Amino acid sequence: MAMQITPEEAVKKIKNKSSVMIGGFLGAAVPLVMIDKMVAEKIKDLTVISIGAGYRGGGVDIGKLVLNRQIAKYITAHVGTDPNLIKQIVNQEIELELSPMGTFVERVRAGGAGLGAVVTPVGIGTEVEDMAEKIIIDEKEYLLFKPIHADVAIIKAFRSDSLGNLQYKGMSNTNPIMATAADIVIAEVDEIVEVGEINCEAIGTPGIFVDYIVQGHTYEERKEIYEALWISTNKL
Amino acid sequence: MAMQITPEEAVKKIKNKSSVMIGGFLGAAVPLVMIDKMVAEKIKDLTVISIGAGYRGGGVDIGKLVLNRQIAKYITAHVGTDPNLIKQIVNQEIELELSPMGTFVERVRAGGAGLGAVVTPVGIGTEVEDMAEKIIIDEKEYLLFKPIHADVAIIKAFRSDSLGNLQYKGMSNTNPIMATAADIVIAEVDEIVEVGEINCEAIGTPGIFVDYIVQGHTYEERKEIYEALWISTNKL
Amino acid sequence: MPKNYIAKRIAKEFKDGMYVNLGIGIPTESANYIPEGTHVYLQTENGGLMFGPKPQRGESNPDIANAGAEPITMLPGGAVFDVATSFAMIRGGHIDMTVVGALEVDQEGSIASWKIPGKLLTGMGGAMDLLYGCKEVIVAMTHTDKYGKAKIRKKCTLPLTAAGVADLIITDKAVFRVNKDGLYLEELAPGVTASEVKQLTEAEIVNIKEWE
Amino acid sequence: MPKNYIAKRIAKEFKDGMYVNLGIGIPTESANYIPEGTHVYLQTENGGLMFGPKPQRGESNPDIANAGAEPITMLPGGAVFDVATSFAMIRGGHIDMTVVGALEVDQEGSIASWKIPGKLLTGMGGAMDLLYGCKEVIVAMTHTDKYGKAKIRKKCTLPLTAAGVADLIITDKAVFRVNKDGLYLEELAPGVTASEVKQLTEAEIVNIKEWE
């Protein structure tokens, strides 16, 4: 069962040195308001767990945490979109933990699903072999990776009812998986509706996984924000 | 991309000694028409992969394959609902491969997702230790199970478009997972609609996973079948 | 013994806002005694949260059923999903409590409920995942079997469903808490004496002296 | 060299009904040249199938984007899902073809595309999953790097993205098939000679004699 709180209250759940999963995919479907609050609160030494870096070019969404030097460790599959992040990694200001993207996803899923490890053939014959334990099953080689679990997950959904049942729009990408894999799960949503308004089949994340609901930008506001971003970066 | 065929054509994809995943959960949301066709065709020596046995008491849905002695091996988590099945197992007419239900589910998922194994803490300290390999990660014991993949999966969905995009109603239970884990996937549906009629967010199994679509009973017919079954067994 | 004593006693363990998975039989019956004002969200391992009572005839939905394939209804706010999500929920520690029946339970909290060699051969179903993953495990059963033999034992004699997981044992005679150092008697059923419980319990009861 | 030669040549590999994941750059461009009457279903690893061109201004949807977070549209019959489903689809062998760029590819079909030690440090993203899981792997790239150095090598010198996975190599000079016993020249680009290709290719071309 979830509780609706303000972004100001929600950001207090994240402490210096917290590990924080951030939903979204390279800037899309990210919890923009919660990230802004984390920047405003100057929470330090964060371990950020995100499938990739922020929007291309840096300085947008998660890129703000980078510019503000709030990150000590980054667990991800891809940092290529944010030159500032790469610079801080090269300068050893940020520790980087990489895995292939599908492996990253399964590690987070395993963290939420109580599984002991991820066993995948992806990465065999590459440097990724150094990032995991190699095991042999029926004479075939696999890599064994450990699950990922976080102190806090901040995720983005379209809307929520007051029980924390979440509905997604479009590509939900990492959000439903990360909703399962943290001690405290904060969902930022476009709108909050009455219980029963979201049909049982339309619920992408049941409220059992969600602790706090935060009103984010409305859908119309997000549409404006993204159109402006896409136009200014020549994508629309 | 999927092709619509008749149940008579679809059942020809299943051969003697085929391994066949059957979607549903103890009789609910099972592909009734396809099971009836398998019975009519008397396909023999099947390896059936199903989360449990058929509807309580036996002789219904998968229970018909049992009565007809078409099964050589049963891979499952639970056979308690079908006394005929238990009898054939005890008489060693059917070989039984058990795993805990959550492990069974992950084994099927791993089979469809190209993962090498399932690593779970469930079953440690029980007889299940004899059914798997034990591995130790960070000083904690886990069991390592191999993925399950089938020759054919017959699953049940509410409806399909002509590309094989499937929408589910109610508890989709094992159907979306099994849809990923067989060489040939046959979806039995209540109705078949035009492309575009199922909203992109309502698609539970994208058509990429589905090979053949079969018109099953309509929703109203299934409602009648289940009401009659439930009333006759004192459940409604 | 008051009618439905065990089911009613289980219901006292429900706290507002809990997500709970109930085993078949007496545990499921306990949902009828959830205290007024307490909201308990029931999970069913075939893929549903917040389900309600069975529907009226003519109003059932062939795709809305519980783990026994019996018709149920979904309450407002209820969610449906597949079994991968359901068992991720169960195994991943997201469910607050499960209440299950058992053949035996022992003073280490180990539970035997799925197999009697040569007799009961149903398979473990979802029981092992539930007992491993749910935050609190309550065993609800008759104190003795039909031959009067103790079901609360020093060490289970039947194949285990899970080792060291039970938190509370509710029987028609008493309520026990399973702590790290053993079994504690917490409550006697109406009209039952401590010495009767001691006699009907094979396990050692750490605090039995306080009750005698 | 005809304009967009590589992208147009890739498009000839599309067969009706294929599910395809296209890498950024030239591979993505090839979607503009899909032959009339051929239906190709594009997958994007952030969780979409059957997407179409970018929307008009004012008609974008902040939640409909490709793997580069750029606005796209969904075609009728398109599906959206989460990344667990997306990578199950990729790694599980459900996608017919992927077309990717590369820094190097070698005669064993190994591909290097994600890292230049000390220079390019972006992380592998989804490339390793795609190259492992997709049924057919096409590498599309310029034949040589900007210094004129051969990118088709006996053995990759850069860290691999995947070992032994490439099926076809399409460059601005030629098309090669990677078989178990090595690299086969299949086609020369307009105006390109076999000896030119031989000179610009470090890898051994098994059937080069047939072309000279």
Tokens matching residue B149: 């993949």
- Quick check: B135 and B119 in contact, CB under 8 A? yes
Taking residues C14-40, report their average pLDDT.
94
Torsion of CA B193, B196, B202, B208, to 10 degrees: 90
Contacts of B200 in chain D (CB under 8 A): 48, 74, 78-80
Interchain contact, A115 vs B114, CB within 8 Å: no
State yes or no: pLDDT of D1 exceeds 70: no
Confidence of residue C212 (pLDDT cuts 50, 70, 90): confident
Say how many CB pairs under 8 Å bridge B and C: 167
In this structure, which amino acid lies at residue A41? E
Under CATH, which number does the domain D2-210 receive? 3.40.1080.10
For D12-38, the pLDDT digits (tens) are 999 999 999 999 889 999 999 999 999
- Quick check: A57 and A83 in contact, CB under 8 A? yes
State yes or no: pLDDT of C1 exceeds 70: no
Interchain contact, D62 vs A226, CB within 8 Å: yes
Q: At A130, is the secondary structure helix, strand, or coil?
A: helix
Percent of all residues in chain C with a pLDDT value above 70, rounded to a whole number: 99
pLDDT of D3 reads: 74
d(CA C209, CA D130): 67
Beta-carbon contacts of D209 under 8 Å, excluding residues fewer than 6 positions away, are none
State yes or no: pLDDT of D64 exceeds 90: yes
Instruction: Please name which of C22, C27, C52, C29 lies closest in space to residue C126, comparing C-alpha atoms.
Output: C22
Alpha helices in chain B, H assignment, sequence order: 7-11, 32-41, 62-67, 83-90, 101-113, 175-178, 219-232
| All chains having 3 or more CB pairs closer than 8 angstroms to chain A | B, C, D
Interchain contact, C79 vs A206, CB within 8 Å: yes
pLDDT of A209 reads: 98
- Based on the number of CB atoms within 10 Å of its own CB, is A133 exposed (0-12), middle (13-18) or buried (19 or more)? middle
CATH architecture of the domain with residue range B3-115+149-233: 3-Layer(aba) Sandwich (3.40)
- Chain centroid to Cα C56, Å, comes to 27
Tokens matching residue A189: 């949503």
Q: At A233, is the secondary structure helix, strand, or coil?
A: coil
Q: Extract the runs of DSSP E, i.e. beta strands, from A34-149.
A: 46-49, 71-76, 95-98, 117-120, 133-137, 140-145
Interchain contact, C55 vs B236, CB within 8 Å: yes
d(CA C23, CA C126): 10
For A62-72, the pLDDT digits (tens) are 999 999 999 99
Beta-carbon contacts of C153 under 8 Å, excluding residues fewer than 6 positions away, are C104, C105, C106, C107, C202, C203
Distance of residue B199 Cα from the nearest chain D Cα, in angstroms: 8
d(CA B108, CA B130): 20
Tokens matching residue B73: 């091996």
Could you write out the DSSP letters of every residue in chain D?
A: --TTHHHHHHHTT--TTEEEEE-TTHHHHGGGGPPTT--EEEEETTTEEEEESPPPTT---TT-B-TTS-B-EEEEEEEE-BHHHHHHHHHTT---EEEE--SEEETT--EE-SEETTTEE---TTHHHHHHHSSEEEEE--SB-TTS-BSEESS--SPPSBSS---EEE-SSEEEEEETTEEEEEEE-TT--HHHHHHH--S-BTTHHHH-
Report, in angstroms and rounded to the nearest whole number, the Rg of chain B calculated over CA atoms: 18
Q: At C187, is the secondary structure helix, strand, or coil?
A: strand
State yes or no: pLDDT of B26 exceeds 70: yes
Distance of residue D61 Cα from the nearest chain A Cα, in angstroms: 6
Distance of residue D20 Cα from the nearest chain A Cα, in angstroms: 17
Confidence of residue D54 (pLDDT cuts 50, 70, 90): very high
Domain borders along chain B are: 3-115+149-233
Instruction: Please name which of B111, D58, C34 lies closest in space to residue A220, comparing C-alpha atoms.
Output: D58
Q: At C43, is the secondary structure helix, strand, or coil?
A: strand
Checking DSSP bridges between strand C182-188 and strand D18-22, what pairing results, if any? unpaired
Residues 85-144 of chain B with CB under 8 A from chain D are: 109, 112-115
Closest chain B residue to D129, measured at CA:
B114
For D111-156, the pLDDT digits (tens) are 999 999 999 889 999 999 999 999 999 999 999 999 999 999 999 9
* C-alpha distances in Å from residue B218, one per residue of B40, C62, C195: 21, 11, 62
State yes or no: pLDDT of C3 exceeds 80: no
Q: At A166, is the secondary structure helix, strand, or coil?
A: strand
Closest chain B residue to C122, measured at CA:
B80
- Three-state SS string over B51-87 comes to CCCCCCCCCCCHHHHHHCCCEEEEEECCCCCCHHHHH
Place of tokens 């020596």: B45
Checking DSSP bridges between strand D40-44 and strand D48-52, what pairing results, if any? antiparallel
d(CA D21, CA D30): 11
Tokens matching residue B111: 């089979």
Closest chain B residue to D86, measured at CA:
B113
Distance of residue C67 Cα from the nearest chain B Cα, in angstroms: 7
Interchain contact, D45 vs A158, CB within 8 Å: no
Instruction: Please name which of D50, D55, D57 lies closest in space to residue D34, comparing C-alpha atoms.
Output: D50
SS3 content of chain C, % helix, strand, coil (to 5): 20, 30, 50
Distance of residue B124 Cα from the nearest chain D Cα, in angstroms: 27
For C112-121, the pLDDT digits (tens) are 999 999 998 8
Interface ipTM above 0.95: yes
Confidence of residue B61 (pLDDT cuts 50, 70, 90): very high
Catalytic residues of D: 45
Interchain contact, A113 vs C92, CB within 8 Å: yes
For B77-128, the pLDDT digits (tens) are 999 999 999 999 999 999 999 999 999 999 999 999 999 999 999 999 999 9
d(CA D14, CA A43): 50
| All chains having 3 or more CB pairs closer than 8 angstroms to chain C | A, B
d(CA C142, CA C157): 17
Instruction: Please name which of C58, C62, C16, C67 lies closest in space to residue C37, comparing C-alpha atoms.
Output: C16
Instruction: Please name which of C174, C173, C168, C179 lies closest in space to residue C206, comparing C-alpha atoms.
Output: C179
Crossing angle (nearest 10°) for helices D83-91 and B101-113? 60
Beta-carbon contacts of B14 under 8 Å, excluding residues fewer than 6 positions away, are B20, B38, B41, B43, B46, B151, B152, B154
State yes or no: pLDDT of D58 exceeds 70: yes
| H-run or E-run covering A211 | none
Domain borders along chain C are: 2-210
Contact B176/C at CB under 8 A: yes
In this structure, which amino acid lies at residue B11? V
In this structure, which amino acid lies at residue D162? A
pLDDT of B105 reads: 98
d(CA D119, CA D87): 28
- Quick check: D114 and D39 in contact, CB under 8 A? no
d(CA D102, CA C125): 48
Torsion of CA C150, C153, C155, C156, to 10 degrees: 50
Interchain contact, C71 vs B235, CB within 8 Å: yes
Residue to substitute from A60, A88, A173, interface D, most D β-carbons within 10 A: A173
d(CA C137, CA C131): 6
Tokens matching residue D94: 């459900």
Beta-carbon contacts of B85 under 8 Å, excluding residues fewer than 6 positions away, are B53, B54, B58, B63, B66, B71, B74, B79, B94
Strand partners, A189: A157, A215
Distance of residue A13 Cα from the nearest chain D Cα, in angstroms: 26
- Quick check: A174 and A107 in contact, CB under 8 A? no
Closest chain A residue to C87, measured at CA:
A113
Taking residues B146-161, report their average pLDDT.
98
Contact B196/A at CB under 8 A: no
Residue to substitute from A108, A163, A212, interface C, most C β-carbons within 10 A: A163
- Quick check: B119 and A135 in contact, CB under 8 A? no
pLDDT tens digits for chain A (236 residues)?
A: 799 999 999 999 999 999 999 999 999 999 999 999 999 999 999 999 999 999 999 999 999 999 999 999 999 999 999 999 999 999 999 999 999 999 999 999 999 999 999 999 999 999 999 999 999 999 999 999 999 999 999 999 999 999 999 999 999 999 999 999 999 999 999 999 999 999 999 999 999 999 999 999 999 999 999 999 999 999 99
Interchain contact, B115 vs A138, CB within 8 Å: no
- Quick check: A101 and A78 in contact, CB under 8 A? yes
Q: Extract the runs of DSSP E, i.e. beta strands, from chain A.
A: 3-4, 19-22, 46-49, 71-76, 95-98, 117-120, 133-137, 140-145, 150-161, 166-167, 182-193, 212-215
* C-alpha distances in Å from residue A126, one per residue of C109, D25, D28, D111, D164: 46, 24, 26, 10, 11
Contacts of A161 in chain C (CB under 8 A): 77
In this structure, which amino acid lies at residue A17? K
Instruction: Please name which of A35, A43, A42, A36 lies closest in space to residue A18, comparing C-alpha atoms.
Output: A43
d(CA A34, CA A192): 16
Interchain contact, D123 vs A76, CB within 8 Å: yes
Catalytic residues of C: 45
Contact A223/D at CB under 8 A: yes
Tokens matching residue B166: 């499937």
Tokens matching residue D207: 């059937």
